[in-house]
Structures are given as C-alpha cells and as structure tokens.
C-alpha cells in the first residue's frame, strides 16, 4: 500500500515541484523559469507551497502567494491560489481538493483574510466558497484614432530604473483606495519588473523631468495593463496615448486594447476617441477571477477602517446599533456568523448574537457583497442575499456598496 503524506514544502523540494508543474501544465522552459522566479518573490516562503507525497515523491501541489491588498482605505493580508496540479497518474484520488482545504486552513492560521485565484474550472472551487469578484473590461480603439500629436508639452520616455521611486509614488497615490489593488513595496516592484519580457513596455510621462504618469503594456497579448497619473496631471494620458500611437503604427498594430476599469480616466479618454468597451462577466469566456473571504470575522475586522469611512460619509454617521452577518457555507466550507457593533461611526466585530437586523445568504454571494463585487441592494434584488429588515438593508447598503474590485494584470501574472 502506498504511503501518502500531506505536508508543506521546503527548499529541497523546489526542483521536484518545478518538474511536476512542467509535466502538468506546459512542457516549456518558460514554465520552469517562472517558478524559479516565483521562489524569489519577496513575500515567498517555501511553506507557501503545499504538496502531497506518495512514497516520497511529490505528486500534487498548490502554491499560495502572500500579498497585501486594499479594500478601500483598509489594508489586508490575502493569500492567492496558484498552480493547483496533480500528476496524471495520481488524479481522481482527491489529492487536489484536500490540498485546497489544507491551504485554506493555513490561510486562516496566518491571518490572511481573502483568497483570490484565476481558473477555467469554476465548479471545482465553488464548493470551497470561491466566487467571481472581477469582471474583465476591454476597451478597444483603432490606432489611428489615438491623438496624433501631443499638445501638452510633456515628454514621454521608456521606463528606466531611476524612474522607480516616482512611478511607485504615482501608483500609490492613484490607487490609494481602489478595492483589490495590491500594495507594492520597492522589493515587490523590482520582482514584478523581473517578469518583464522584451516585448513588454512601460512608458513614463514627464513634466520638466518629473514623472507625472505612466502606462504599462504587455506585448505578449497587446494589452495596456495598467496606467496612472499624479493628481492634477490628467493630461498625461494624452501624451502617453500619442506615443503609443506612434509605436503601434511602427509595429503595424491596428488597434490598442486597454484592460482597465470602466471608470479609469484613460478608458474614458479612449471612449471619447471612438473606442468601444466590452464588459465580460466572469464565467462568460476563458479564465475566471474568483475570491473567497477567509474567515468572516477576520475579514470584517481587517476592513474596519473602510467600513468606518463609509459610515462617516453617510447619513448614518451617528447610528448606534448592531448588525448580524451570516452565511450558510458551501459543501466544503462551514457556515459562519458575526455581529457588527456600530456606535457613532465606529465599528467593532464580535461573535454572533441574536439580533433583529441581519444580512444572510450562501457563502459565495455574501462574499461577493463583502468584497464589493455587488452592492447589497443589487444582491437582494437578484435574490442572492436576504436582509431581515429595512434597517439591515439601509445600513448594509452603506457598509457594503459596489466598489468595482479590480486588480492589475501586472499583479495577476505573479499571483
């Protein structure tokens, strides 16, 4: 009888893990190189790789990626799920599912309060409590419709390492309260840039030598994946688009495609130039971005600064009372209940008490509301979530509005 062991990895297993992933996902040197690079992630620890060994051989694997994410003004630790795979001859034995359950227990133990992943097999992860949190938004415009000449007098140059401090500051200012964007340290920025391929491009707009905006595109898929500007320098986008036009014409590329949210300033400018935006709801095609709230109480404690901000900017700033939040779990995920105590704009999280004002539902739609994928009122109208009273709906609508969660493709590519 074979000896099966579920454990966390150590450095000595790295090469064996890389070889497993090479065999399971794609037999290319790029796959191996990506995983060697993943092990240099500044947040990485070997124990973030959970494995199954059969008779001493690694046959199944999941990689957890530690990040710090924004939920509005709150900062929370999250743990992404990547590279869930089992050797072909060992499939059908539920190794991957058990690894996922072990990984979720690990996330809880580390205090990581949410878990994103990208997959093409939605039904595999739903029983664990994962659900869509991020719609793909594509805005396409004909290259010739882009600004022909920059009339702003800003210069545009290719990124160089000396630009990093200013680009970091622009990113942090612009995305300071965008839900699900990743907080990036200098080390993490450097690691992202290690992934940069020769055909990838980062352009920096400058005003008298000072960086005021940037745009990053991935040449592999032709997408503009991220862009930002300093406050008061919205015109930087016209300079960036003019330079992109010149380069795209040189390459013979007929269109520019933006992978940016609907409300992003560059998306708005491109639509004004004749661009067309398509919103592809998760699950409609290709890969799906999913999220799980890992520990209801821990997540709500983590986002308390944002909940308080929302309250103080609403007509309920002076409200005093309690709100229950509960979900019924999923097939492989237990139910949870908590109580929010609200007093004069302050919020605290406690164990569940029997209260009159309650938000409830299955884990996945409740998670979507808490993350901001759907506002509470929308979720109630769709029959996905219930409220026990008008007060619960009113209060919950203030605390849990739709916030259009978005995460840059630069971060998606690295966990």
pLDDT of res. 413: 57
CA gap 40, 33 in Å, rounded = 11
Is the residue at 374 inside a domain? yes
Cβ contacts of 128 within 8 Å, gap of 6 or more: 100, 101, 104, 292, 330, 332, 333
Report residue 254: phi and psi, to 5°.
-75, -25
pLDDT of res. 388: 98
Number of structural domains (the chain) is: 3
Q: What percent of the chain has pLDDT over 90?
A: 82
Per-residue exposure over 190-199, b if at least 16 CB sit within 10 Å of its own CB, e if not: ebbeeeeeee
Sign of CA dihedral 185, 186, 187, 189: positive
Domain encompassing residue 274: 137-280
pLDDT score of 297 more than 70: yes
Is the residue at 129 inside a domain? no
Is the residue at 81 inside a domain? yes
Identify whether residues 338 and 380 lie together within a single domain. yes
pLDDT of res. 30: 77
Is the residue at 120 inside a domain? no
Confidence band (pLDDT; 50, 70, 90) for 166? very high
Is the residue at 265 inside a domain? yes
Identify whether residues 325 and 266 lie together within a single domain. no
Helix residue ranges per DSSP H, 59-138: 95-110, 122-125
pLDDT of res. 182: 97
Torsion of CA 214, 216, 222, 223, to 10 degrees: -90
pLDDT score of 360 more than 80: yes
Identify whether residues 300 and 186 lie together within a single domain. no
Report residue 105: phi and psi, to 5°.
-60, -40
pLDDT of res. 221: 61
Mean pLDDT of 313-328: 96
| Residue with tokens 């029997």, as numbered in its chain | 354
Mean pLDDT of 196-224: 88
CA gap 374, 363 in Å, rounded = 14
Q: From the CB of residue 187, how many other CB atoms can be counted at a distance below 10 Å?
A: 11
Angle of helix 390-399 versus helix 304-312 axis, rounded to 10: 110
User: To which H or E segment does residue 278 belong?
Assistant: strand 276-280
- 218-222, 281-285, 388-392 — which one is most confidently predicted on average? 388-392
Sign of CA dihedral 175, 110, 373, 317: negative
Is the residue at 341 inside a domain? yes
The two tokens of residue 194 are 């290690």
Q: Residue 257 maps to which CATH number?
A: 3.40.630.30
The two tokens of residue 223 are 């997408």
Confidence band (pLDDT; 50, 70, 90) for 329? very high
Identify whether residues 303 and 276 lie together within a single domain. no
Identify whether residues 336 and 241 lie together within a single domain. no
Identify whether residues 320 and 260 lie together within a single domain. no
Identify whether residues 106 and 143 lie together within a single domain. no
Residue-by-residue DSSP string for 147-204 = -SS--S--EEEE--GGGHHHHHHHHHHHTTT-TTPBP--HHHHHHHHHT--TT-EEEE
Residue-by-residue DSSP string for 124-141 = HHGGGT-EEEE-EEEEEE
DSSP code, position 4 = E
pLDDT of res. 28: 77
Is the residue at 220 inside a domain? yes
Distances in whole angstroms, Cα of residue 46 to Cα of each of 38, 56, 337? 10, 18, 33
Q: Please, what is the average pLDDT of the chain?
A: 93
Between these two residues, 281 and 208, which has the higher pLDDT value? 208
pLDDT score of 257 more than 60: yes
Identify whether residues 268 and 304 lie together within a single domain. no
Identify whether residues 275 and 147 lie together within a single domain. yes
CA 348, chain centre distance (Å): 26
pLDDT score of 320 more than 70: yes
Cβ contacts of 276 within 8 Å, gap of 6 or more: 139, 140, 141
Mean pLDDT of 381-392: 97
- Among the candidates 227, 249, 280, a domain finishes at 280
Is the residue at 86 inside a domain? yes
Q: What is the pLDDT of residues 76-130, one digit of tens each?
A: 999 999 999 999 999 999 999 999 999 999 999 999 999 999 988 889 999 999 9
Cβ contacts of 78 within 8 Å, gap of 6 or more: 66, 67, 68, 69, 112, 113, 114, 115, 116
pLDDT score of 301 more than 80: yes
Identify whether residues 300 and 235 lie together within a single domain. no
- 183-197, 214-228, 299-313 — which one is most confidently predicted on average? 299-313
Identify whether residues 235 and 311 lie together within a single domain. no
Cβ contacts of 356 within 8 Å, gap of 6 or more: 388, 389, 391
pLDDT of res. 281: 62
- For the chain, report the end-to-end CA distance as a whole number of angstroms: 37
Mean pLDDT of 200-216: 96
Identify whether residues 237 and 315 lie together within a single domain. no
């Amino acid at each position: 009888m074979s000896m099966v062991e579920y454990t966390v990895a150590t450095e000595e297993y790295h090469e064996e893990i890389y070889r497993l992933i090479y065999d399971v996902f794609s037999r290319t040197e790029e796959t191996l190189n990506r995983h060697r690079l993943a092990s240099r992630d500044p947040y990485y620890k070997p124990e973030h790789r959970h494995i199954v060994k059969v008779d001493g051989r690694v046959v199944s694997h999941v990689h957890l990626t530690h990040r710090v994410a924004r939920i509005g003004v709150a900062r929370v630790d999250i743990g992404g799920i990547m590279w869930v795979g089992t050797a072909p001859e060992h499939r059908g034995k539920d190794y991957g599912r058990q690894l996922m359950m072990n990984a979720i227990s690990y996330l809880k133990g580390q205090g990581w309060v949410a878990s994103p992943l990208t997959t093409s097999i939605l039904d595999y992860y739903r029983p664990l409590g994962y659900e869509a949190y991020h719609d793909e938004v594509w805005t396409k415009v004909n290259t010739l419709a882009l600004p022909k000449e920059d009339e702003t007098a800003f210069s545009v140059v290719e990124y160089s390492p000396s630009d990093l401090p200013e680009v970091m500051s622009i990113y942090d200012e612009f995305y300071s309260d965008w839900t699900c964007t990743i907080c990036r340290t200098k080390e993490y920025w450097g690691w992202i840039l290690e992934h940069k391929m020769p055909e990838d491009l980062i352009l920096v707009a400058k005003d008298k030598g000072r960086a005021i905006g940037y745009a990053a595109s991935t040449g592999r898929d032709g997408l503009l994946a991220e862009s930002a500007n300093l406050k008061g320098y919205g015109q930087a986008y016209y300079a960036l688009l003019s330079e992109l036009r010149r380069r795209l014409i040189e390459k013979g590329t007929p269109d520019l495609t933006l992978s940016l949210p609907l409300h992003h300033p560059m998306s708005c400018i491109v639509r004004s130039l004749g661009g067309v935006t398509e919103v592809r709801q998760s699950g409609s095609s290709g890969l799906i971005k999913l999220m799980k709230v890992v520990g209801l109480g821990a997540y709500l404690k983590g986002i308390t600064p944002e909940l308080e901000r929302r309250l103080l900017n609403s007509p309920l700033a002076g409200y005093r009372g309690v709100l229950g939040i509960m979900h019924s779990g999923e097939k492989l995920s237990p139910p949870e209940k908590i109580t929010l105590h609200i007093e004069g704009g302050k919020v605290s999280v406690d164990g569940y008490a029997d209260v009159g004002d309650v938000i409830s539902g299955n884990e996945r739609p409740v998670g979507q509301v808490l993350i901001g994928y759907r506002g509470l009122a929308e979720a109630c109208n769709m029959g996905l979530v219930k409220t026990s009273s008008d007060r619960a709906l009113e209060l919950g609508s203030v605390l849990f509005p739709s916030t259009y969660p978005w995460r840059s493709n630069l971060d998606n590519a690295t966990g």
